[in-house]
Structure 1
């Protein structure tokens, strides 16, 4: 990465009437990620971080940053060609605070492009941590995810989905992979694991006054880490 035009970045924020904190959080980064870039505290932000910011502002990365030849261009909605960033860690049973939850992830394990069948909606990669779905997606793999909320996803039996549970008004979050099964009890979200800890379903109806449960992504591909 050879440079970030902070003046242009500030102008883009003003044009869209958004704060640096809002963009950082919506992009799945730490709350101060963009502010640190603007104020010069983050002098060498990763291409993944800048890709997420560009996608959130709906501009190509070249709009505010120059990229060294050979690096992958940013993913940006409605802009192609593009490579998908790693946006989340999906790990059943691991509750994270908002600060821990929003991490700056490494570069994708390989160049994965958006699926044209879902070109209208945001897509990204998530790294799998844990054994709740190890019979289908072992730990260490990367899943290709489409935004279930923006696409208006309707659950179908057999689909693999990303489920997010939130506690304490969203201050504690957990992301987990599950397989959709629809039966007499409605939509159930099942682990597919060899671990005895993960043998019971999570129901969307489990949401209550203290915990929200929501399908946030549909998995459309799985990739091996390239180390």
Structure 2
């Protein structure tokens, strides 16, 4: 019976044969170290990011390689996996009454454990819809997120963040993913990274503490005490969570 590394290597090589690529060409197309596959064959644990890049180049979902690398019987292995629930979706320009799906609609996925997180920090998934961040996350990507109060810090420049806006006029909430930046004036700037001209203007929040959701809030019903009023007539803005990884990109034709 093949072990985790053998299964992973077999899957990678099968996809290389389908694409008609050599080992060197595969590593070049994936943008990873040219010795990456050789290192796996020698028993070195691959990083999840490396497997995700290989999966993208070889046109399979990242989970096809990630799950192959996970131990199947509880033994220590290349990757330890745990259950994460995809609880909702983010999509610019869509205003809804509820931001979190009913628990019966949650999607159960397996994601590699993340030793960087503080003890007890809960991860949850969000499905990307629309093109408001498609330069980084194509529609269909699954984002793995952690709330900032679980990270024990606020947002830092370069973080990809989940942003919620509440509009009394429109009667609903909008949840999107943005890139956070504190500019030279101390303002909080939330940038879309989109190919769509309709989603290229940033949200700019004045100086002061970043409007981060408190522990009293949840993805479904937020505590808006710390929300920032964007501009006259614009919705309230609240930063809830940080994107820490992407488990699955949109499906590609094989």
- TM-score normalised by the shorter chain: which range applies? 0.5 to 0.7
Partner of 2:101: 103
Task: Work out whether residues 139 and 250 of structure 2, in 8 Å CA contact, stay in contact via their aligned partners in 1.
Answer: no
Q: For residue 102 of structure 1, give the secondary structure of its aligned residue in structure 2.
A: coil
Pick closer, same or farther for the CA change 1:148–1:169 going to 2, 3 Å: farther
Partners of 1:183 and 1:102 in 2: how far apart?
31
Q: Does 1:218 align with 2:217?
A: no
Q: Where in structure 1 are there 5+ consecutive unaligned residues? A: 1-79
Q: Which residues of 2 match residues 21-170 of structure 1 at below 5 A?
A: 82-98=82-98, 101-104=99-102, 105-108=105-108, 110-118=109-117, 119-168=119-168
Q: Which runs of 4+ in 1 moved over 4 A?
A: none
Task: Work out whether residues 145 and 218 of structure 1, in 8 Å CA contact, stay in contact via their aligned partners in 2.
Answer: yes
Shift of 1:223: 2.1
Q: Which residues of 2 match residues 183-198 of structure 1 at below 5 A?
A: 183-185=183-185, 186-198=187-199
TM-score after normalising by structure 2? 0.50
Shift of 1:171: 6.0
Partners of 1:225 and 1:210 in 2: how far apart?
32
Q: Does 1:207 align with 2:205?
A: no
Task: Work out whether residues 155 and 187 of structure 1, in 8 Å CA contact, stay in contact via their aligned partners in 2.
Answer: no
Over residues 65-116 of structure 1, what are the superposed CA-to-partner deviations in whole Å (9 max), with x where a residue is unaligned? xxxxxxxxxxxxxxx9740001121111111013xx33233423x4114423
Partner of 1:29: none
Shift of 1:218: 0.4
Partners of 1:158 and 1:173 in 2: how far apart?
25
Root-mean-square deviation (Å): 2.8
Shift of 1:174: 1.1
Pick closer, same or farther for the CA change 1:149–1:164 going to 2, 3 Å: farther
Q: For residue 94 of structure 2, give the secondary structure of its aligned residue in structure 1.
A: coil
